Amino acid sequence: MLSKLKLRLPNLPSTLFVVPMLCGVFGLNGCAAGGAGGAGNGAGIDATDMQTLAQQAKNAKAALLSEDNPSQILFWSPEQQLFGYKNIDKIYPTRQITASTSPYPLTDAPQDLLSLTYELNGATYSVAQYIEKYRTAGLIVVRDDKVLLENYSLGNKPSTRWMSFSIAKSVTSLLIGAAIQDGYILSVDEPVTKYLPRLTDTAYAETTIKDLLNMASGVAWNEDYTDPNSDVSHAGGLNGIELFEYLGKLPNASAPGSNFNYSTGETNLVGALLRAAIGNNAASYLEHKIWQPFGMEFDANWMLNAPGGGEQGGCCLSATLRDYARIGLYAMRNGKNKAGESVLPQGWMQASTQPSAAYPGYGYLWWLADDASYAARGIFGQMIVVVPEERLVIAMHNAWPEAVGDSLSAHRAAMVQAIRTELLN
């Protein structure tokens, strides 16, 4: 459980920070980094700003260390978000994923996409306004391996790792495909209990791997991020025996495969199933099957439930913005590396992005649109959009003020559509 993990924060100074530290930790507007098609805001930092932000840093650290404060990521303050999302490995136990020595090449070809506008509810907004209003720490647009826009704010830069939240679910789905290709798993139609026999006498007795990937196990689960008493708040970070014990007590709500019910707990279960099948940890498997062979440029890390423990299969991969985009490119290439070799079964991504019987908007841990595009999405605005027909990937790091919200999602969708429409012209 995220709230039970022992926090490990660096010894941050309690008085004034130097300017570079303020930029790196709290993302001052005056020192935001710019990339292809984007630039920092350029404002200076006066002594009052430094005093204020130093106090914010002190308060954020104190709150994260406080036993009275729910250290759950779901309830971090804006200051804690900006420090925490880019420093997960300094707060929680993680396992490193080492970068490739030969990064997948991306060529800078900047276009002015920040000035593009979209309309929503009778008002007009620009992409730049979206970035500022909705706390977008990074936005990248890649088509035909060319970076058309790469913009950073909130102190982020190309080497900044950022918390993925549920984007990790889609990565876990890719690894299930790799495990099938390697022969560790025979088929998604196999019962979950073949690999996790502890669940034999539970509501998961008739559930298949495919049911889990489709979020259609039939087992009850409450994914309300705003409710401290929901299942996701209590058990969204559980793993191993604790996870099996918690899920094993939940009742059936419907027949397996018949009803869509989003469950982070069950994607952690998919992660446990993956580790049981391959006899290895997920981070190492990701490193050797995808991260290094495909050419990810930077080291990443994956949160563990405890030091030396298992990865959160449904959450908490931290990676740079460019490597977020490369995950999308990897999926769009059907798992093929630069040499044309694939670690995924033939047709895996096609099967992964087919509408499920339970809900047409979801596949194997991928969100589906009705135009053949699909996405990996995480709370607080994280997203990788893949549009195969347009040879396009859009990825973003966000620190939304709320985990989810209709208005937040509507603005993001309209902003993404404005970029897509411009590139089709």
pLDDT one-digit tens code per residue, 140-190: 999 999 999 999 999 999 999 999 999 999 999 999 999 999 999 999 999
Split at pLDDT 50, 70, 90, the class of 35 is very low
- Is residue 139, in this structure, part of any structural domain at all? no
Reply yes or no on whether the pLDDT at 114 is more than 80: yes
- Is residue 413, in this structure, part of any structural domain at all? no
Neighbouring C-beta atoms of residue 101, cutoff 10 Å: 7
- Is residue 104, in this structure, part of any structural domain at all? no
- Is residue 424, in this structure, part of any structural domain at all? no
Share of the chain above pLDDT 90, in %: 77
Reply yes or no on whether the pLDDT at 326 is more than 70: yes
Distance in angstroms (rounded) separating the CA atoms of residues 223 and 368: 19
pLDDT of residue 169: 96
pLDDT of residue 24: 31
Distance in angstroms (rounded) separating the CA atoms of residues 67 and 71: 8
Output 339 or 30, whichever has higher pLDDT: 339
What tens digit of pLDDT does each residue of 237-283 get?
A: 889 999 999 999 999 999 999 999 999 899 999 999 999 999 999 99
Residues 170 and 341 sit within 8 Å (Cβ to Cβ): no
Which domain does 17 fall in, by range? Answer: 2-86
pLDDT of residue 55: 59
Residues 313 and 271 sit within 8 Å (Cβ to Cβ): yes
Reply yes or no on whether the pLDDT at 37 is more than 80: no
Cβ burial of 46 (10 Å; 0-12, 13-18, 19+) is exposed
What tens digit of pLDDT does each residue of 353-380 get?
A: 999 999 999 999 999 999 999 999 999 9
Residues 157 and 81 sit within 8 Å (Cβ to Cβ): no
Average pLDDT in the chain: 86
Token code pair at residue 100 = 């490739």
- Is residue 37, in this structure, part of any structural domain at all? yes
What backbone torsions phi and psi does residue 296 show, to the nearest 5 degrees?
Answer: -70, 140
Specify the number of domains making up the chain: 1
Under DSSP, is residue 382 helix (H, G, I), strand (E, B) or coil?
A: strand
Chain length of the chain: 425
Split at pLDDT 50, 70, 90, the class of 50 is very low
pLDDT of residue 3: 35
- Is residue 76, in this structure, part of any structural domain at all? yes
Output 73 or 161, whichever has higher pLDDT: 161
Q: What DSSP letter does each residue of 291-315 carry, written as one string?
A: IHHHT--S-EEEEBSSTT--B-TTS
Reply yes or no on whether the pLDDT at 420 is more than 60: yes
- Is residue 64, in this structure, part of any structural domain at all? yes
- Is residue 66, in this structure, part of any structural domain at all? yes
Reply yes or no on whether the pLDDT at 40 is more than 80: no
Residue 95 host element (H or E): strand 94-97
